[in-house]
Structure 1
């Protein structure tokens, strides 16, 4: 097993263990045993347990964020420089929905990873945000401000915070929502749930502008 394979094996095992146990409960002894490597390999490739977990998230998040920015740029081009709200939230949500499943089946590791992350300490979540989401958030807030020039910037930022919180809650609680909706004979696939979330968020942003006029 070469260095690249060793690193990838550790990231894969880290994802499994983190999704089940979170950061504090994740054992490096178990990880190295399951990955077939020694503890020195963790230190060599990552330097620490925290950096291993941060790298694990980056493997998942960065390709998704790149797609989000590509979709947002296309939405801006389609709107002659100003993206529609639907285009903005499609860019934010669709890449998440795509990565929440593999071959049409929910990726439970991914869903559990998200759930674990948002339940970690404030310091852990803050560092994860700074590394992976801070610049992305600024870009999306700017796009929303362009789309809604009458909405004060502070309100745009708060509404975006609420939008992201709704996205995370919908993602993590998808199983509970699905069981509830199935009992009512409703569609429960994650794409349709996110389309409904997009429409809800767009209506919320527009409603704030109308209320201020």
Structure 2
């Protein structure tokens, strides 16, 4: 059953195209892509289904437009910050600037769009978890070029770390970014109020610091002897 947002459902807006986009974004972020129909979107936007197909042709086209309107500005800002970061001479400072260039726009880009960045981040997390092939292609089309640019820049700053390991660590950064934006209240709760999870400045600094540390961790090959020694110790203890 599709849950309808009280903020969107039944509300007519002067710009029907924007109303449809806002309704679809809210419904997709709440229910996923597969469970939402064109009729659901039209009803939430106060439109008829023909208006959805007139403006976007298909539900796939509507999802692509949502990604474009949010990610165009975000990717542009990331590219601008990355270009500046790559000119930093000190390698430690450069790595931090590169990570910040990736993280910062996720908190700020699209903030003046209806619903802001947090709702779109929730939508992205839902789309990734759902595993829909349409969403997967749109995500790749939207983000792969920018992601490759950041991975290459990090690899240039940490040439002793294999690129495939940087890919893994970048993957973990994306998961942390999703979770930080979608569930800020968890930080406030688990810190017993000593940290404000909804403070974007604090979230950015903590995320950048933790991510830089993870990128600087030794490559897995260099830790293999220690892992083997630890495994042998555990085995010997079990055999006693």
Please indicate the TM-score interval, normalised by the length of the shorter structure. Answer: 0.7 to 0.9
- From 173, 189, 202, the counterpart of 2:183: 173
- From 113, 125, 145, the counterpart of 1:115: 125
Question: Partner of 2:200 in structure 1?
Answer: 190
Bigger proportion of residues as helix: 1
1:59 Cα deviation from its structure 2 partner: 1.1
Question: Partner of 1:31 in structure 2?
Answer: 41
- From 23, 32, 53, the counterpart of 1:43: 53
Question: Partner of 2:18 in structure 1?
Answer: 8
Change in Cα spacing, 1:203 to 1:154, as seen in structure 2 (3 Å) is: same
**Take 1:39 and 1:122, find their aligned partners in 2: how far apart are those partners?**
22
Tell me which structure has the larger Cα radius of gyration: 2
1:193 Cα deviation from its structure 2 partner: 1.8
TM-score (norm 1): 0.82
Please say if residues 122 and 178 of structure 2, whose CA atoms lie closer than 8 Å, have aligned partners that are also in contact.
Answer: no
SS in 2 for 1:23: coil
1:150 Cα deviation from its structure 2 partner: 1.5
**Take 1:196 and 1:156, find their aligned partners in 2: how far apart are those partners?**
19
Deviations 1:64-98 (A, max 9, x none): 11111111011113339997111111111011122
SS in 2 for 1:52: helix
TM-score (norm 2): 0.74
Computed over aligned residues only, the root mean square deviation of the Cα atoms, in angstroms, reads 3.0
1:180 Cα deviation from its structure 2 partner: 1.9
Please say if residues 76 and 82 of structure 1, whose CA atoms lie closer than 8 Å, have aligned partners that are also in contact.
Answer: no
Change in Cα spacing, 1:124 to 1:184, as seen in structure 2 (3 Å) is: same
Please say if residues 10 and 35 of structure 1, whose CA atoms lie closer than 8 Å, have aligned partners that are also in contact.
Answer: yes
Please say if residues 107 and 200 of structure 2, whose CA atoms lie closer than 8 Å, have aligned partners that are also in contact.
Answer: yes
- From 69, 73, 79, the counterpart of 2:83: 73
Deviations 1:32-76 (A, max 9, x none): 234343322222222211221221122111211111111101111
Deviations 1:6-55 (A, max 9, x none): 32221122112222222123232232234343322222222211221221
